[in-house]
């Protein structure tokens, strides 16, 4: 699949605000695709506050929508085995 094929689809990026996910979002924008960014907040890790603020800051700089998905301990365990469950939150 190339960028032209993606342009007609709704694209989402699992977004931490780190180097990798920021690069992916930036490349999509550079190629004419405006993705929705998804930040998973597990409400457990202490560094989540810093990560959340970083994700918010960068999404604002990129002018992209950031959706925060808050999960519980049970869903955190589930996400390890089924990372693509995020589609359920899009409906």
- Mind listing the pLDDT tens digit for each residue in 14-70? 898 899 999 999 999 999 999 999 998 877 777 778 888 999 999 999 999 999 888
> Which pLDDT band, with edges at 50, 70 and 90, does 72 fall under?
low
Euclidean distance between CA atoms 78 and 6, whole angstroms:
28
pTM passes above 0.75: no
Q: Name the 3-class secondary structure at 68.
A: strand
Q: What average pLDDT does range 2-19 have in this prediction? A: 84
DSSP assignments along 1-57, one per residue: --HHHHTTS--EEE--SSHHHHHHHHHHHHTT--PEEEEEE-S--TTHHHHHHHHHH
């Amino acid at each position: 699949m190339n960028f032209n094929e993606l342009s007609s689809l709704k694209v989402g990026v699992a977004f931490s605000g780190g180097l990798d996910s920021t690069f992916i979002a930036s490349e999509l924008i550079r190629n004419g695709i405006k993705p929705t960014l998804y930040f998973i907040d597990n409400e457990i890790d202490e560094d989540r506050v810093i990560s959340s603020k970083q994700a918010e800051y960068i999404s604002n700089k990129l002018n992209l929508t950031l959706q925060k998905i808050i999960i519980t301990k049970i869903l955190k365990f589930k996400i390890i085995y089924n990372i693509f469950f995020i589609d359920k939150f899009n409906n």
